[in-house]
Amino acid sequence: MNMSLVEYERRGSVAVLTVNNPPVNAMSPGVPRGICEGIARASRDREVDAVVLVGAGRGFIAGADIRYFSLPWPEGEENFSDVIRAFEDSSKPVVAAIHGHALGGGLEVAMACHYRVVSPGTRVGQPEVKLGFPPGAGGTQRLPRLAGVAAALDMIVTGSPVTAPQAVELGIADSLIEDDFVEGACRFAEQRARSGGPHRLARDLPVNLDDPAIFDAMRGKIARRARGMRAPYACIECVEAAVNLDFDAGIAEERRIFEACVHSDESKALRHVFFAERAAGKIPGIDKSTPLREIASAGVVGAGTMGGGIAMNFANAGIPVTIVERNSEALERGMAVISRNYGASVSRGRMSEEAHDRAMALITPSIAMEDLADADVIIEAVFEEMAVKKAVFAEIDRVARPDAILTSNTSYLNIDDIAAAMPDRHGRVLGTHFFSPANVMRLLEVVRTANVSAENLATVMALARRMGKLPIVAGVCHGFIGNRMLEGYFGEASLMVEEGIAPERIDRVMFEFGMAMGPLAVMDLAGLDIGWSKRKDAGGGTAIERRGSWIANRLCEQGRFGQKTGRGYYIYEKGSRTPTPDAEIDDLMEAARHHFGLGPPDLSDAQILERCLYPLVNIGATILAEGHALRASDIDLVYINGYGFPAWRGGPMHWAGNVGLDRIHEAVCRYHRELGFPQWAPSSLLKELASSSRTFEDHDRDHRHA
Ligand code: CAA
């Protein structure tokens, strides 16, 4: 046996098999073999009456080794089926002793044992759907037999884990062991061995279904969220098989469906996202030895929508935060919004009254900048204008501790300029671009200024994770990663409306692709007036009348700023967020075509898609080549978590690999010739990868950061 992966130890009459495959005890090659050999040895050992299977380190088993879904499994090496067969053939009871986590194949291994015990704080679940396939080692057949069909269906389709007490209550686990876990598990195993059995296996339990309508009900429930996806429906079909077929036929059906899903583009994309999220935390110049500063108190300047949301993030993470506004009216308004947001969470049952009171007690409103004097970190979240921000930072500079970390919540501005105004704070100024609503959205662009120290950058990354965010490092450039790319996406959408393609058609194409919302509906949500005032400031006179802004300008002149005024590219009924197409837009499109001398509209849905998405890929490649994103997979995460790009397509850069970079490059060059707008200036990196038949993932592999 490979002693380093599965250790064998005898404790009294119990053989303890310890899976020791750091960091998470995935079922990599060698682990199944180790378990099978341990079971065989225990069955030969006359002194042994029972077996306990346990994980070393932080948890039990985190499932299959996900890397092997795209690698060949070594010839002749044991696998999940061999492990499960070994348990089922064992005459001595096998107890899975689960601490930390048992996920995916980890829970499946546990469910194939005769018994399961859990330690407090453990979570068990079948998260496979998040990787684009249903459980493939019997989970969809055993879980309904242990937990009941409704609970199993819910766990498998959502991928959400349950806690240790829930696992006991549902019948997934037989007992909760409070202390001295492995010893307790051994005592449990001894007792069961002494009882003489029968040691029932999950496969022999009946499947009880009270309400056959739950499957269709589940299909209805997930219809919007699972739009375009296969795996959630595959999960439902597998559980249906548990109800309709006998155990062995159900297992065969699960295997068939699993195999069909695991090689799909959807699964490849979701696996890419899984590893992308882990890679995003790896930053050149920062490693485990980089010291982290303690963040025990925080300050936020600005109690508007963003400032309020940011303050809520601190409070939710248990960090006391002082929120400062210029005057009491603005402060009271901001605090009322915070209170209303928390109140809504309580009334929806997402937050307890106690948690609400705790969070509110952590937020101190103030109109005195001096109240930020003790804060470890201060986030500026005032109006997005350089002069305003610089004035606020001058104030912060006056009061903040010399070692405080200062960040600006900006979506476009040059934070190096802000930092340069405070030379004494060298290394402690950076950007934190939150997404609206800041208390909900998972993405945080952490903008690395020229002089920020590794320690302060690492501290802000860790703080973001403590807030439940997914922090992505971006470089200082106009719009950073997300908004810089968005200019190309919105730009093309606006141009196409001028060419006579109706907003609802563009939005439909993008919604069907899987975007959470179409671009014109998003522009209405964000407010058309923001771009309008920027254009007026920047261009003045006719310069703002270039193509791409002509219709938006006309709309703004009519006071149609989007959702907030009930009209924009669409009409919104009072109190409704549902966009309704507006016949007046047809007239504006006609006028725009006349104004610019354009021919009749002539674009297919496929061309609309290209015009929207290829600029994302092209600009993303430029950002990557400039080093303003560390890796293409970071760009994917930005788009998935901040801009509604479907995770099951893997983000724009991964998706581009499926389309073919040569095809995209060729189209970018063509659009550059025909249309000529800046978003089409071909990226040299896109050209280089296309001509060498490589993908952005190949590029990331070649430039891997430690
Ligand atoms: N396979 C391979 N590598 C894995 C892995 C897995 N199942 N789970 C985690 N890892 C790796 C991560 O990539 C990461 O590697 P690096 O350090 O090189 O980046 C490392 O383990 C640590 O992972 P996390 O950073 O995620 O650690 P964490 O402590 O925050 O979380 C965890 C631990 C809860 C187990 C989390 O890693 C997780 O959710 N893992 C995936 C669980 C899962 O999806 N299991 C199902 C697998 S599919 C399956 O089992 C199919 C089947 O039906 C047979």
12-56 per-position pLDDT tens digit: 999 999 999 999 999 999 999 999 999 999 999 999 999 999 999
| Cβ 52 vs Cβ 18: under 8 Å | no
Closest of 197, 149, 191 to residue 170, by C-alpha: 149
Q: How far is the CA of 62 from the centre of ligand 1 (A)?
A: 6
Closest of 35, 124, 29, 34 to residue 67, by C-alpha: 29
In the annotation, is 512 catalytic? no
Question: Which pLDDT score, from 0 to 100, does residue 291 have?
Answer: 95
Residues 246-288 have pLDDT tens digits of: 999 999 999 999 999 999 999 999 999 999 999 999 999 999 9
Atom from ligand 1 closest to the CA of residue 106: 50
Question: Which pLDDT score, from 0 to 100, does residue 540 have?
Answer: 53
Question: Which pLDDT score, from 0 to 100, does residue 677 have?
Answer: 87
Residue 407 CA, chain-centre distance (Å), reads: 23
Give the DSSP letter of residue 373: T
> Pocket of ligand 1, candidates 27, 61, 66: which has the most ligand atoms within 8 Å of its Cβ, to mutate?
66
| Cβ 113 vs Cβ 100: under 8 Å | no
Atom from ligand 1 closest to the CA of residue 123: 34
In terms of C-beta density within 10 A (0-12 exposed, 13-18 middle, 19 or more buried), how is residue 442 classed?
Answer: middle
Question: Which pLDDT score, from 0 to 100, does residue 301 have?
Answer: 97
Residues 221-232 have pLDDT tens digits of: 999 999 999 999
Which of 108, 266, 325, 492 is catalytic? The answer is 108
Q: How far is the CA of 27 from the centre of ligand 1 (A)?
A: 10
pTM of the full structure = 0.95
Q: Determine which residue's CA is closest to atom 12 belonging to ligand 1.
A: 278
Q: Determine which residue's CA is closest to atom 24 belonging to ligand 1.
A: 278
CA separation for the pair 677, 644 (Å, rounded): 25
Average pLDDT estimate for 60-67: 97
Which of 128, 240, 266, 498 is catalytic? The answer is 128
Q: Determine which residue's CA is closest to atom 35 belonging to ligand 1.
A: 62
- Listed in sequence order, the residues at least 6 apart from 482 whose beta carbon sits closer than 8 Å to its beta carbon are 433, 435, 443, 445, 638, 639, 642, 643
CA separation for the pair 212, 110 (Å, rounded): 28
Atom from ligand 1 closest to the CA of residue 66: 1
706: pLDDT strictly greater than 80: no
- Listed in sequence order, the residues at least 6 apart from 166 whose beta carbon sits closer than 8 Å to its beta carbon are none
Average pLDDT estimate for 186-192: 97
Q: How far is the CA of 26 from the centre of ligand 1 (A)?
A: 7
Question: Which pLDDT score, from 0 to 100, does residue 240 have?
Answer: 97
In the annotation, is 128 catalytic? yes
Structure tokens at 130: 């998040």
State whether the Cα torsion 260-265-266-268 is positive or negative.
Answer: positive
Closest of 624, 625, 610, 626 to residue 675, by C-alpha: 610
Long-range (24+ apart) CB contacts under 8 A made by 436-441 are 436/305, 436/306, 436/309, 437/305, 437/309, 437/341, 438/305, 438/306, 438/308, 438/309, 438/310, 438/312, 438/313, 438/409, 439/308, 439/309, 439/310, 439/312, 439/313, 439/316, 439/341, 440/309, 441/641, 441/642
Structure tokens at 335: 């605090």
Residue 236 CA, chain-centre distance (Å), reads: 23
Question: Which pLDDT score, from 0 to 100, does residue 656 have?
Answer: 98
548: pLDDT strictly greater than 90: no
State whether the Cα torsion 367-370-373-377 is positive or negative.
Answer: positive
Question: Which pLDDT score, from 0 to 100, does residue 426 have?
Answer: 83
More confident residue, 88 or 548: 88
Closest of 31, 17, 185, 196 to residue 116, by C-alpha: 185
Average pLDDT estimate for 326-345: 94
Percentage of the chain beyond pLDDT 70 is: 98
CB-defined site of ligand 1, < 6 Å: 23-24, 26, 62-67, 80, 101, 103-105, 108, 127-128, 131, 135-137, 139, 275, 278
Ramachandran category for residue 505: left, alpha or beta (phi over 0 → left; psi -120 to 50 → alpha): alpha
More confident residue, 354 or 530: 354
Average pLDDT estimate for 99-103: 97
Q: Which amino acid is at 117?
A: V
The sheet carrying 123-125 orders its strands as: 101-103, 123-125, 162-163
Q: How far is the CA of 64 from the centre of ligand 1 (A)?
A: 9
More confident residue, 692 or 530: 692
Question: Which pLDDT score, from 0 to 100, does residue 570 have?
Answer: 97
Residues 351-367 have pLDDT tens digits of: 999 999 999 999 999 99
How sure is the predictor about 697, in pLDDT bands with cuts at 50, 70 and 90? very high
In terms of C-beta density within 10 A (0-12 exposed, 13-18 middle, 19 or more buried), how is residue 93 classed?
Answer: buried
Question: Which pLDDT score, from 0 to 100, does residue 544 have?
Answer: 56
Q: Which amino acid is at 642?
A: G
Average pLDDT estimate for 72-97: 96
Long-range (24+ apart) CB contacts under 8 A made by 248-251 are 250/140, 250/141, 251/138, 251/141
Question: Which pLDDT score, from 0 to 100, does residue 2 have?
Answer: 46
Q: Determine which residue's CA is closest to atom 40 belonging to ligand 1.
A: 62
| Cβ 472 vs Cβ 443: under 8 Å | yes
Structure tokens at 676: 């000529």
Residues 668-685 have pLDDT tens digits of: 999 999 988 888 999 999
Atom from ligand 1 closest to the CA of residue 126: 46
Structure tokens at 35: 């378990």
> Pocket of ligand 1, candidates 5, 24, 108, 701: which has the most ligand atoms within 8 Å of its Cβ, to mutate?
24
Closest of 222, 188, 215, 208 to residue 148, by C-alpha: 208
State whether the Cα torsion 417-423-424-428 is positive or negative.
Answer: positive
In terms of C-beta density within 10 A (0-12 exposed, 13-18 middle, 19 or more buried), how is residue 351 classed?
Answer: middle
Residues 281-312 have pLDDT tens digits of: 999 999 999 999 999 999 999 999 999 999 99
Q: How far is the CA of 453 from the centre of ligand 1 (A)?
A: 30
Residues 374-404 have pLDDT tens digits of: 999 999 999 888 889 999 999 999 999 999 9
Q: How far is the CA of 704 from the centre of ligand 1 (A)?
A: 19
Question: Which pLDDT score, from 0 to 100, does residue 139 have?
Answer: 98
Q: How far is CA 588 from CA 101, 478, 569, in A?
A: 58, 31, 10
Question: Which pLDDT score, from 0 to 100, does residue 531 have?
Answer: 84
Cβ neighbours, 10 Å, residue 458? 21
Give the DSSP letter of residue 473: E
Question: Which pLDDT score, from 0 to 100, does residue 423 have?
Answer: 87
Q: How far is the CA of 405 from the centre of ligand 1 (A)?
A: 32
Question: Which pLDDT score, from 0 to 100, does residue 7 have?
Answer: 97
Q: Determine which residue's CA is closest to atom 42 belonging to ligand 1.
A: 62
Structure tokens at 474: 């971006």
Element at 378 (helix H, strand E): strand 377-380
How sure is the predictor about 1, in pLDDT bands with cuts at 50, 70 and 90? very low
> What are the backbone angles phi and psi of residue 361, rounded to the nearest 5°?
-70, -20
